[in-house]
Structure 1
Amino acid sequence: MNIGKEILFFFGALGAFNGFILSAYFFFFTRKKYLTNLFLGSLLLALSIRVTVTVFVYFNNALLKTYLQIGLSSCLLIGPFLYYFLKAGIHSINKIPKTWKYHLMIWFIAIFGIGFLFPYQNYPVLWNDYFVALIFLQWFSYLFISGFESRILLQKMIQHYNNTTPAEKWFGMIYLGNAIIFLFYFLGFARVSFISCVTGCLSFTFILYLAFSILLYRKKTDDLFLLNISKDKKSDPKEASILAEKLEKIMLEKSLYKNPNLSLQDLSNEINISSHQLSQFLNNNLGKNFTSFVNEFRIKEACKTIVSNDKLTLESIGYDVGFNSKSTFFAAFKKHTGTTPLNFQIQGFQA
């Protein structure tokens, strides 16, 4: 091994070693145990395994193919861990949903099942010609949906970087760092000139030390793990007024409330903020949750229809304005108006 290769080996191995250390830190030593810590630690662990195998296989081709199988298999977990890290942070999720557990279990079963039935040592052609391509396709697919999940965050970083919070920069850096690592690994897999998989190792080392520098520079790191850590903080009055007007305008112009399946995520996408930010705004600034906010528009529309059209049944009016059942409509109507739809209809006729 010449001097140049020794330097590459040193930095690649050092990055992998520090990746394991940082992974342990996120697993066990952060003061507050956010779900994002767990997934970030898992992400670093999967990346560190991949980098470790790449470094040793690249500089010693005589190693058993089993090590290469371990490195490639770990790539199947990088994408899911990145996706759930971002999703947990963006939506402030602190407990793993069952669907996430089942999803991850499927990949673990696939890794151990395929590894047992078709070990790399016995099926090198199958791995090189098919499995590797599928692994990179899976990795890219998760990178794509992770980018879609965090598109508002990334857009804000690009357009208004100076106005982004430390947490937004942190999450954005981790996503972009993973995209760079994937890119170098893929170009190495595609045998692009002057690029090999070890370049992906070096990019991992660089990004890892950048993350280290951020953690060491900041006296407080808890605010990095949730994009909206303060749940009691109200928006600036002027900004709150603008957002409230924007919400009302888009609800009325597009009649979004008439969609019985309208979700918090759907509405947040319409106004280009995260669902957590919208939920926080509704609770802290308007004093209501998402369901109450939407039902107010539905009840107002129902009241207008009841007064202006006596040929429609109350049940059909409820469906028309966005409720998915008669009982839900009647309960929401009573809650917001203090009376039942029938009494309101009778009072309207008498007036």
Structure 2
Amino acid sequence: MNTIKASTRAYETWLKAQIGPDFVKAGLAEKHRKMHDGPFSFLRATYWRWAETILEICPELADAPEILAIGDTHIENFGTWRDVEGRLIWGANDFDEAAVMPYPLDLVRLATSALLAREDGPTASVICTALLEGYTQGLAAPAPLVLERDYKWLRKAIVQPEPERAAFWEKIDALAPTAIPPRYENALRAVMPDPATPLVMSPRTAGTGSLGRPRFVASGTWRGGPVLREAKAIVVSAWSLRHAPGTTTIRVGEIAAGRCRAPDPHYQVSNGIVVRRLSPNSRKIEVKDAADELLFPRMLKLMGREIANCHANDPAVLPMIQEDLARRGGDWLRQAAKVAAQSVAREQAAFA
């Protein structure tokens, strides 16, 4: 296995070639800064390294049934949006690294992120028990997590109060008009209610693992209120890059629109660009804002359920997953996540 620094150079060289002249060098510098911050941020920033190493760290997972998985799961990869019926939905909301892989890897990476994010939070046993309980229940009855009538506690935890909503729109209103590459402008206009709406186009910095990839927002006013969309470059999953060389298929849209999810109808993937709606109701929940909520066992249980919703797109595979889970016993996830977290921490120290 090559060193983390050599791995970083190799992946970034590949990524720059994939993105081309739109690559954001300043974003890469920001990613490196976050990689120095600590093991949790390091995990967030280095999915390609996870893809390279996890089956060496946890070889017992390699023979598990394979499914189309999220790949880059972590506790900050969950949030809210409105579906085609206008209902408030909660679930996974970033699928940039989706690929076919052994199903346990989504659970192991999610559990690893929770272990690295906690300070005085729940024990590894509590975290992994909650995730597995939710995942098992989700496999038995996969269904979107609709917040309109149910999950009052979750709505209370995630719906932004008025001051934060106002601050969100103030930040958007402060964006200065900037010329952006035509392919991104065209993608943004295509998903507006009226493509002829006057729009402010601006670059945006967000995320951790996607830093370096161009990201732009388009904001405007339509029928008396604000509209906002984001466009971001996507490339082939780092998992496919490592384990299925030559693959050119991007699976982002397929998993996002799975049969057991209620996707945002404005989430579109085309020509190497993913476009989505932004609003105070379409947002991620981050550790710095809500660590206690994210690490609460009933929240972790819902995360496990949502992983199952994503894995349930092919119903023929579900019995094989359930059989494999039963074979592994009750402590496999804690053991795998603990080993993976220790490995991430060592590599972060070597990078720093």
TM-score > 0.5 by shorter chain = no
Question: Whose Rg is larger?
Answer: 1
The structure carrying a bigger helix percent of its residues is 1
- Which band: TM-score by shorter chain? under 0.3
TM-score (norm 2): 0.21
